[in-house]
Amino acid sequence: MNRLILVLRDFYPARLDREAFAALPRLAALERWLACADIAPARGGWRNWLWREFALEAPLAPDTVQALVTPASVAAAAVPNLPPGKPLWLATPVHFVAGLDTVRLHPAGLLELEREAQDRLAADFARVFAGSGYTLHATGRREMLLAGGTPVEPAGARSDDPARWLGADPREGFPAGAQGAPLRRLGAEIEMWLHEHPVNRLRAARGELATNALWLWGGGASAVICALRAAPAAGAWAEDAYLDGLARVRGVEVRVPPERWPPTRTALAQPTERLVVFGADVAGRAESLRGMENGWIAPTLLDWQQGRLDTATLLAGERAITLPRLRRWRRGWRALRRPRPWWEILLR
């Protein structure tokens, strides 16, 4: 089957006011996709959906997936020299904005650190936190990895993807549950360590937001080390730590995403599964949203309409939005749906 999966990495419902929603551009191809598609919940977010649908021989229930594997344990499959058997957590560099009695995650506060800065932080963490039982590891992607602590049950230290809290008070997304207290204490110590850190002084000199915290989430288990499913007929394009690990587990090469889809017309010649992860500015920068529309959504919709793709799935937050096989779609009432503004479905 010729199948394409597009992942909008940070497209969770946004905390925008009425004026901000009104300023968003209409995206005709995305709205047509939403009108034609089957929309189903992706419980646990897009990472859990991919693990069930892209990595396993047979799909598992969402709760079973969460009990077996965590986002950090998948990402770790592509990171060398991790301490064996240690619980792992994703560590996302973020920027908090503090008020008199409030704190917010900056709307652009999910930060991408270059590999050199990550290596420097990891080395300094080893010095400052020596003896703590924790180690920090660079990935070259947005999320770093933290190893250490004690194993955590799936419900023992609930933690959220920080993308869910952009522009909002983040405290409800911090590690919670009976086993979350050690991580919260470590997070507070990391904030003090990062204050005036040389990496942040360099960022300030370049006019960039400071990394004033590491958001610890998506972990509690050790690395996934077994290959689950061979995939000679699959391809992946992403710059994401989770996808690096998922591709390693499945035996797929990860390539740098092209500027638009498909990278070449021959890329659709053979039946296969393709997985692409990319980001767009959910807060509404028009050029970012139109780039997503023109470079990815519209070409994929056209390939589906012309029969070059059997199905295409758009993963956004906790929704899986699938264009079905064209013959089945034409027989259904969905052909008569009128497009609605895309943000009413994806962001609210």
245 and 202 together in one domain: no
Three-class secondary structure assignment of the chain: CCEEEEEECCCCCCCCCHHHHHCCCCCHHHHHHHHHCEEEECCCCHHHHHHHHHHCCCCCCHHHHHHHCCHHHHHHHHCCCCCCCCCEEEEEEEEEEECCCCEEEEEEEECCCCHHHHHHHHHHHHHHCCCCCEEEECCCCCCEEEEECCCCCCCCCCCCCHHHHECCCCHHHCCCCCCCHHHHHHHHHHHHHHCCCHHHHHHHHCCCCCCCEEEEECCCCCCCCCCCCCCCCEEEECCCHHHHHHHHHHCCCEECCCCCCCCCHHHHCCCCEEEEEECCCCCCCHHHHHHHHHHHHHHHHHHHHCCCCCEEEEEECCEEEEECCHHHHHHCHHHHCCCCCHHHHHCC
Q: Could you read off the pLDDT of 231-272 as tens digits, one per residue?
A: 556 788 899 999 999 888 888 888 888 888 877 666 556 667
Q: What is the pLDDT of residue 265?
A: 61
**Structural domain includes residue 247:** yes
For the segment 137-179, what is each residue's pLDDT rounded down to a tens digit? 999 999 999 999 877 765 567 788 999 999 889 888 888 877 7
If asked whether residues 82 and 47 sit together in one domain, one would say: no
Are residue 201 and residue 125 in the same domain, yes or no? yes
Query: ∠ at Cα 45 (44, 47), nearest 5°?
Result: 100
State the chain's mean pLDDT as an integer: 85
Count up the domains in the chain and report the number: 2
Whether residues 108 and 144 share a domain: the answer is yes
**Residue 51: inside a domain:** yes
Residues 270-293 have a mean pLDDT of 77
Arithmetic mean of pLDDT, 195-213: 95
> Are 160 and 240 in the same domain?
no
Interstrand relation of 88-98 and 103-110 (parallel, antiparallel or unpaired): antiparallel
The model's pTM is: 0.89
Return the pLDDT at 135.
97
Domain that holds residue 155: 76-217
Q: Is 267 in the same domain as 335?
A: yes
Q: How far apart are CA 75 and CA 60, in angstroms?
A: 20
168 lies in a domain? yes
Domain co-membership, 187 together with 99: yes
My answer on whether 81 and 206 are in the same domain is yes
Predicted confidence at residue 130, as pLDDT, reads 95
Sign of CA dihedral 6, 274, 80, 182: positive
